[in-house]
């Protein structure tokens, strides 16, 4: 599965989590926080490639929350061999 995100639409943390939940088909019990995202991606067994376009604006739009998003995604990318996350 290959999922594409346009980070320029992530103007709020709520929009980020809604976009993530929708595009990754996360269940209704997704907690809309980075710990929940990390846990759900850590449990994932099937291959997944995520491409994040306009990644440079994540920190500009979301400040510290944007830094935490990038850190979480990079950590998943390093820890999970079946998940590849590309930043463009």
pLDDT in tens, 51-80: 999 999 999 999 999 999 999 999 999 999
- Residue range 2-87, CATH number: 3.30.370.10
Q: Of 9, 24, 25, whose CA–CA distance to 62 is shortest?
A: 9
- Domain residue ranges of the chain, discontinuous segments joined by +: 2-87
Q: Nearest-CA neighbor of 53 among 16, 3, 2, 5?
A: 5
CA-wise closest residue to 10 among 48, 64, 66? 66
* pLDDT tens readout for residues 4-43: 999 999 999 999 999 999 999 988 889 999 999 999 999 9
């Amino acid at each position: 599965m290959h999922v594409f995100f346009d980070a320029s639409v992530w103007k709020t943390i709520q929009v980020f989590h809604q976009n993530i939940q929708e595009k990754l088909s996360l269940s209704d019990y997704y907690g809309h926080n980075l710990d929940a995202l990390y846990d759900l991606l850590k449990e994932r067994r099937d291959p997944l490639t995520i491409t994040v376009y306009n990644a440079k604006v994540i920190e500009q739009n979301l400040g510290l929350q944007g830094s935490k998003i990038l850190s979480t995604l990079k950590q998943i990318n390093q820890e999970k061999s079946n998940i590849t996350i590309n930043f463009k």
